[in-house]
Structure 1
Amino acid sequence: MEQVGFTLNGHRHTLTRGQVEAVLAGVEPEAVREHAVVVNGVLFPVKQAFELAVGVPRSEFNSHTARRHLAALGFEVRGEIAARPPATRPVARSVTRSAPMQPAAVTADEEWHVEANVQAAVVTALTRAGWSIRSVADTATKARGDDIVAQRGNVTTGIEVKGFPSRSYADPARAGETKPTAPSTQAGHWFAQAVLAAMRLRGREPSWRSVIALPDFSRYRNLHAETADSLTAAQIEVWWVHQDGTVDLP
């Protein structure tokens, strides 16, 4: 995707890949602590890159919003990057499954398995695999429609994305509260919602591939094992997203 359109705090914006690259050309990146994007071969904090490209103060959006839209433009986004001095130019490095990144321990908003991070990981994996991203829903505002629609050649795929529940609220106003529903119980509800959405897509667009993307947690693995035969019969695929940002694409 070379252009994305989105609404931020009631204002409509359009962002292109070329615009991001032009604005950040020659810009010194700030220290990267958690969420990063590679632009012009340089590693930037996603908030710095998005703020400069869109012209909106970073206080008006979160890192998930920045990651989602930058990933939709085909930029490589990364999570949980170790901090480095601001003046140091970044060196690209690969993250292996043998040394997984640890989930953030600050707030629920920073956890790797929240829906926006899972969605961004899938978009990044698809673009790397040669898929064109036709649309990306704003999961933060619970926008209606397919979470991701991607196309490669004559194959179109609709993807329903779910995160894994946290014990605390992502809303800063409720950061000190504990959710009344256990994550395992909530995950069962979310899994059921994802299956229903995938089945509806299968009926609405029978020629599309229908996919559910889930963070790799044992609770989801067990639920999938119990329903795998039925999902296969319904031609619904499940893709697993790992803590290091990799995705098990078929």
Structure 2
Amino acid sequence: MNSQGRAPIRFTLNGQRYELTREDVEARLIDVTPDAIRKHAVRINGTWFPAIQAFEAATGIPRSEFISHTARRHLAALGFEVAGNVEPRTMAPPLRGAAAASTPPRPAAATPVEVGGEWHTEANVQAALVTALAREGWRILSVANTATKEHGIDVIASRDGRTVGVEVKGFPSRNYADPARAGEAKRTSPSTQAGHWYSQAVLAAMRLRSKEPEWGSVIALPDFPRYRDLHAETAGSLAAAKIEVWWVDEAGTVQRP
């Protein structure tokens, strides 16, 4: 554990294993001049950087090998403040030090924070959850890579002696995410598919209760009426099994019991 009181994070990217600490990031960004921020930003050493630039400088991984969601997710897991949909700086030079700390990027008006695409994808819901937990003082122990469909618990976090494992689900889109099938409607309706995803989440949460009985078992879902209805039908059973459901809304706010 580093001097900031945070454990290093470990992750796999393009088949390679990496370990990163908050100290590593801060040390490697000390003399780096921020690029213009267009969308996703992270504050390090009192200065706002594009998330992709900061992650590239901290890890040495070329930005061509990862997406902004990956950078944002891992930096948030280390407790750094992140912001999304930031207006580009075109007039003034980048601020540094105390001035930057008091002048955070401004989110675009009435635009939710997103990693890219629809706000309710699994990747976006997971990123919003990790960001919210890190800001509340949770220590993020591990985060699964949703882009590669990495197996295992999606998010493991701890605070005040309590560890939770979180199964994250998105809400189905009406169309395929694959650009090759853009504009093609799915045969299965989002409502029906959401039922399947909800069932998968419940099964994963029950398995975690058996595997790690001392942990809290949590399901994190985007706040949609369909999921609310499914939860209402199963709330009693989930409570008996000591499984919590956390709701993530379009603004990235996490509602917990």
TM-score (norm 2): 0.83
SS in 2 for 1:238: strand
Separation (CA, whole Å) in 2 of partners of 1:132 and 1:103: 22
- The aligned residue for residue 70 of structure 1 is 75
Instruction: Give the structure with higher Rg (CA).
Output: 2
Paired AA for residue 208 in structure 1: W
Equivalent residues of 2:9, 2:141 under 8 A apart: no
Separation (CA, whole Å) in 2 of partners of 1:193 and 1:114: 16
Q: After superposition, what is the alpha-carbon deviation per residue over 1:51-82, rounded to whole angstroms, capped at 9, x for unaligned?
A: 22122221211112112211211112233333
- The aligned residue for residue 14 of structure 2 is 9
1:209 aligns with 2:220: no
- The aligned residue for residue 29 of structure 2 is 24
Equivalent residues of 2:245, 2:256 under 8 A apart: no
Paired AA for residue 241 in structure 1: V
Paired AA for residue 17 in structure 2: R
- The aligned residue for residue 3 of structure 2 is none
Displacement of 1:184:
2.3
1:56 aligns with 2:61: yes
Counterpart of 1:128 (choices 122, 135, 148) is: 135
Displacement of 1:210:
0.9
Counterpart of 2:174 (choices 167, 172, 188) is: 167
Displacement of 1:147:
0.9
- The aligned residue for residue 34 of structure 1 is 39
What percentage of aligned pairs have identical amino acids? 64
Displacement of 1:93:
6.3
Q: After superposition, what is the alpha-carbon deviation per residue over 1:127-176, rounded to whole angstroms, capped at 9, x for unaligned?
A: 22222222222222222221111122332111111112223333444445
Paired AA for residue 177 in structure 2: A
- The aligned residue for residue 43 of structure 1 is 48
SS in 2 for 1:185: helix
1:101 aligns with 2:111: yes
1:234 aligns with 2:241: yes
Equivalent residues of 1:100, 1:243 under 8 A apart: no
Separation (CA, whole Å) in 1 of partners of 2:47 and 2:185: 39
Total equivalences in the alignment: 244
Equivalent residues of 2:87, 2:106 under 8 A apart: no
Counterpart of 1:154 (choices 155, 161, 173) is: 161
Change (3 A) 1:82 1:111: farther
Equivalent residues of 2:87, 2:105 under 8 A apart: no
Equivalent residues of 1:67, 1:117 under 8 A apart: no
Displacement of 1:239:
0.7
Displacement of 1:246:
1.8
Equivalent residues of 1:118, 1:214 under 8 A apart: yes
Separation (CA, whole Å) in 1 of partners of 2:77 and 2:200: 24
Paired AA for residue 92 in structure 1: P
SS in 1 for 2:254: coil
Separation (CA, whole Å) in 1 of partners of 2:34 and 2:187: 41
